[in-house]
Structure 1
Amino acid sequence: MSSLARRLRGIFTSPLPATTKTPAKTSSVRLPITLDLKKWSTSSRSPQTPSDSDPATALSVLDEMEKVGLEPDLITFNTLLNAFYQNGSYADGEKIWDLMKKNNVAPNVRSYNAKLRGVISENRMSEAVELIDEMKTSGIKPDVFTLNSLMKGFCNAGNLEEAKRWYSEIARNELPPVRATYMTLIPFLVEKGDFDMATELCKEVCSRRWLIEPALLQQVLEGLVKESKIEEATELVELAKLKKFRITLELPSDK
């Protein structure tokens, strides 16, 4: 990781003392600027986002690097992209994205994932899909986090078919699913009344021995019973018991 990337990452993620009097240093040059690092610091108890502060602070770091002949690298840009897009500063994220292109730094999958989160946070789902196409055209293969973000975006938009479509893309691209995939989609399937698919996903979760909220499993059971799918509900209960989940599931008909 470059010295600039470490410095920028520190701006967004490192807790700092109550007072900061000297500017940060790189391994090769001392930048002729003074950053209010305390203003940009974050902590687990009282996080601050770049939008809470002055985004020009981070951008000024890049300007000063250019003045002393140092070029920001991909890690540096990804650090800024994640900070801005993830924390609701979409417009500033776009500035960083444009600057990255201007500097002829080619984005990678992490760059696109950061931008995708920003686009989705703005509810620009059609643009998010276009971004996936742009990735593929550039020879960058989406990873499971790329597809998870898109699936979650369509869940939030209330679009069941598109959410299911992008879930299926995970398997089609031979990507290993993660727990977040299921914990995002199962509640949405329950909300939309698709208990068949919700049941299949619950079975996969149980088979992988991932943690799942008992209340969520209970909702799936109740939905199956309402649809008179007692056999499927019983199978789900037995599977949970077989995998020794420390939860108590009860068929609604047994109450």
Structure 2
Amino acid sequence: DVIQCVKMVKKHNHCVPFQCFDRVLDQLIKLNSPAVVVWDFYVEILGCGYPPKLCNFNILMNRFCKEWKVKEAKLVFDEISRSGLRPTIVSYNTLINGYCKCGNLDEGFRLKRVMEENRLVPDVFTYSALVNGLCKDGRMDDANQVFDEMSSKGLVANDVIYTTLLNGFCKNGKVSLAMELYGRMLMKGVKPDLIMYNTLINVLCKSGNIIEAKNLIDEMSMKGLKADKITYTTLIDGCCKEGNLDAALKIRKQMMREGIELDNVAYT
């Protein structure tokens, strides 16, 4: 209704204060309105002389990417330059992440090159998006190369990148590489979280390394992290597949002592 009112005012050649545009745009964003609705309104108010703001373009790109509408996000990106603004690293990262999540890695890497040509230096978030896309595509060698490139430029990987790589190695059955990366990560002073531990425990159990998986659980405990339902269920599954039912039942008892309820997966 508010948008229609704005259109009516504009139709009758009345001026709408920019503050009014700000409030409507702000509400559309806060209410999680569909990206296309917000974008259409934004284009309309730009036509009324509303000054373009880079933050609004970035928000709209991010919204389109979350809705898996990367083509529309690219249109927003192109409009930044046409509006006399210069895309920032946030603008590029948003679109690169969108392309990578949709599996269009070629376009993601092309944008990285364009960004560098425009004298913008890729940051950890740029590399994180690319590594994540490569891991999802099973291209672990390429993901490792991108990771090495990032490290060679003095950028410090965060736990998100490490978890992504570890998960990728694990899913592709490269247990030794996963554990090697884990060791390098510890040497860099990065503290693993519960998700990272569960990822490693999962791959160790699937590869039959139950003892190493248990050692990781002990390590977790020493570092103040408490094993959760996923941790124990993964270990139960590993023990059962190895035929060690006694160990699996002991884990079940430990879960009960700690007040962790078994779910259908664990019982199965």
Structures share a fold, TM > 0.5?
A: yes
Counterpart Cα distance in 1 of 2:121 and 2:78: 19
Question: 1:190 is aligned with what amino acid?
Answer: C
Decide whether aligned partners of structure 1 residues 17 and 198 sit closer, same or farther in structure 2, where only a CA change above 3 A counts: closer
Decide whether aligned partners of structure 1 residues 61 and 134 sit closer, same or farther in structure 2, where only a CA change above 3 A counts: same
The structural deviation recorded for 1:139 is 1.1
Q: Deviations over 1:37-57 (max 9, x none)?
A: 8xx757xxxx74135xxx2x3
Matched, 1:99 2:114: yes
| Equivalent in the alignment of 1:29 | 52
Contact kept, 8 Å, 2:74 with 2:95, in 1: the verdict is: no
Aligned ranges for residues 240-251 of structure 1 at < 5 Å? 244-247=258-261
The structural deviation recorded for 1:204 is 4.0
Question: 1:199 is aligned with what amino acid?
Answer: K
**Structure 1 unpaired stretches of 5+:** 1-6, 32-36, 249-255
Identity %: 22
Larger proportion of helix: 2
Decide whether aligned partners of structure 1 residues 133 and 59 sit closer, same or farther in structure 2, where only a CA change above 3 A counts: same
Counterpart Cα distance in 2 of 1:129 and 1:110: 16
How many residues are treated as equivalent by the alignment? 221
| Equivalent in the alignment of 2:34 | 16
Counterpart Cα distance in 2 of 1:17 and 1:113: 25
Question: 1:209 is aligned with what amino acid?
Answer: K
Q: Deviations over 1:197-245 (max 9, x none)?
A: 111223345551242334323224446773x9x7x87986786566x24
Q: Normalized against structure 2, the TM-score is what?
A: 0.67
Question: 1:28 is aligned with what amino acid?
Answer: P
**Structure 2 unpaired stretches of 5+:** 1-24, 55-59, 263-268
Decide whether aligned partners of structure 1 residues 84 and 195 sit closer, same or farther in structure 2, where only a CA change above 3 A counts: same
Higher relative contact order (CA 8 A, sep 6+): 1
Counterpart Cα distance in 1 of 2:227 and 2:89: 34
Q: Normalized against structure 1, the TM-score is what?
A: 0.70
Counterpart Cα distance in 2 of 1:30 and 1:129: 37
Q: Deviations over 1:128-172 (max 9, x none)?
A: 111122112211011121121111111111111112111222212
1:139 is matched with which residue: 148, 154, 157?
A: 154
Counterpart Cα distance in 2 of 1:104 and 1:192: 45
Q: Deviations over 1:77-125 (max 9, x none)?
A: 1211222212322233223222211221111111110111112223222
Decide whether aligned partners of structure 1 residues 17 and 89 sit closer, same or farther in structure 2, where only a CA change above 3 A counts: closer
| Equivalent in the alignment of 2:226 | 209
Matched, 1:126 2:141: yes
| Equivalent in the alignment of 2:69 | 50
